[in-house]
Structure 1
Amino acid sequence: MRVAIGDISLYFDVDGCGLVPDGPAMVERPTVIALHGGPGADHTTFKPVLDGVTEHAQVIYLDQRGSGRSDRGGPESWTWDRWADDVIAFCDALDIAEPVLLGTSAGGWVALTAAIRHSARLGGVVLDSVMPGETDERLAIMERLGGAEAREIARRYWDGEDSDEIREAYPRVCLPLYSQRPGGDPDGPDRLRRIRWNPDVLEHFRQVLFDDFDPWPRLGQVTCPTMILAGEHDPVATASAARRLAAELPGARLHVVPDAGHGLFREDPATATALLRDFLAGIEWTRAHG
């Protein structure tokens, strides 16, 4: 499905009921909006890993501006603020009140930016594998997980090296290190093939957007309930950065999962889904009891 948002059209998909029967009444379930990473990937990165969430909430998968099946726009509109404002405009267009934003990786940057700019509009935010660690720390973890070759490739890629060699080497050598599941992520290769990539957005991220993301001075504007998920061995969104973020967001729930890498809903879907269920239940209890 598609919906017009200002100058573009966004693609979205829906899984699960918003209203469910409960005896003589219809009960409204919370709405979770899944925001993919990349940037430049699409919502298919969440399928089928969020299937279990539909037992507790309606899930809306959104392809962000410039990504997947949504209109691309241009680099001038590929910004954290624009993506965050698009999410709110999307909710306004579909009359979605108090959604819970679930952002993984760079999608969490969008969710966090939305919470900073529009906290009163949100029921909550779930930030899964979001905050990047310091460069030296990330490189050290890459080396521990993949040796000196992985460290050097990551350094060149994160420095923004513009070469076909490094664009090929990073997904081949470093991307598999994101997962700490025994034997790796079995669905990983197929998931990557399913994505409708916009490589221009990814390059824009490497060259421009990474350095533009600095939420720390504005974290005091986040007033909605927040949950932070992190893998202890994530080589990019490090556990130490997640702990720092939790310390700066009063009341935020932090869960660091041992033996996990990047993307808790892929690394440990049962644990991540259970944590999300409890988070949603807490929000619903607070709404019911004021």
Structure 2
Amino acid sequence: MRTESIKALSGTGFHRLVYHEWGSAENDRVVVCVHGLARNSRDFDDLAQALARDYRVVCPDIAGRGQSDWLNPPAAYQIPQYMNDMVTLLARLNVDKVDWVGTSMGGLIGICLAALPNSPIRSLLLNDIGPFVPSAALQRIAAYLEDRRFDSIEACEAWLRQTYPALGDLSARQWRRLAQTSTRVLADGELALHYDPAIAESLRLTCDEDVDLWALWQQIACPQMLIWGEESDVLLTETVARMGAENPAMQLLSLPGIGHAPSLMDSQQIEAVVAWLRTHQHL
């Protein structure tokens, strides 16, 4: 794993975005993996290692998460800002096309980019996200985005296990690594979650309204795969049905008994992602 950074621009100045990279830097077949709202790039460690033999895999920390700078004011935490940041990242990578793997928020960013004319998105893999997200799900997510503190890594791991039941099949080693990569050490020695608590403030301003990107979804022409946790409250059954109806060629992987969002750390899920990307190797 290599760690790099870029300078991106917001309305109030420049901010540093960190990204981690696997595989040969000379490989022009690039997969960009983008995490969910309160997560970070290290969620993709297992997937990136599986893909690195065939791809250059790039996993950014979206602004306000992981090792990337926090934004000010908090209202800047919006999809248009993330899109601009990712365009800056793609320019640094110096490739014309990328395959996009997006979990939740990362998938929304991918939808918005893939819908644009002359998009650099070659193929779009969405992990438990679609063009419609009900406000009830946004409100649930906003409720746990607090400035939480922990006195030990074990306490953080216990909270993660309770808060992210969709990740329930992870090994003990994976849970511990998740706790370690999800936290930052404060000056007083306590642990805090590795994101800006102001992200919650930004979400609360908009969570009373559904996310509706159907008009953008209809503009996407690249190949698509959807991974769906069948118990998800973010990606509803009717949304999955409509996505498939509007694009019958979309490949669907349904995961019974799993909610939002599948980990992409499970071997079955990783194998499905690897296999699908390989089918589009020569696009």
TM over 0.5: yes
Please give the root-mean-square deviation of Cα atoms over the aligned residues, in Å.
3.3
SS at match of 1:103: strand
Compare the two structures and name the one with the higher strand fraction. 2
Contact 1:180 1:233 in 2 (8 A): no
d(CA) in 2 for partners of 1:128 and 1:202?
22
Q: CA deviation at 1:79?
A: 1.1
Write the letter of the residue equivalent to 1:5: A
Distance 1:190 1:161, change over 3 A: closer
TM-score by length of 1: 0.73
**Structure 1 residue 277 and structure 2 residue 266: aligned?**
no
What are structure 2's unaligned runs of at least 5 residues? Answer: 149-158, 183-193
d(CA) in 1 for partners of 2:43 and 2:86?
18
Q: CA deviation at 1:224?
A: 1.7
Distance 1:242 1:93, change over 3 A: same
CA deviations 1:170-220 (Å, max 9, x no partner) are: x57962432353xx6643354144222222113422442673732112212
Write the letter of the residue equivalent to 2:163: L
Distance 1:180 1:236, change over 3 A: farther
Residue aligning to 1:117:
116
Q: How do 1:1-290 and structure 2 match up within 5 A?
A: 1-6=4-9, 7-19=14-26, 28=27, 30-39=29-38, 41-74=39-72, 75-117=74-116, 120-131=119-130, 134=134, 157=140, 175-181=163-169, 186=172, 187-188=174-175, 190-195=177-182, 196-208=194-206, 211=209, 213-249=211-247, 251-266=249-264, 269-285=266-282, 287=283
Q: CA deviation at 1:133?
A: 6.0
d(CA) in 2 for partners of 1:108 and 1:58?
19
d(CA) in 1 for partners of 2:209 and 2:255?
27
What are structure 1's unaligned runs of at least 5 residues? Answer: 20-27, 139-153, 166-170
SS at match of 2:206: helix
Write the letter of the residue equivalent to 2:19: F
Residue aligning to 1:23:
none
Identity between Structure 1 and Structure 2 (%): 18
Number of aligned positions between the proteins = 253
Q: CA deviation at 1:11?
A: 0.6
Which range moves more in the overlay, 71-80 or 171-180? 171-180
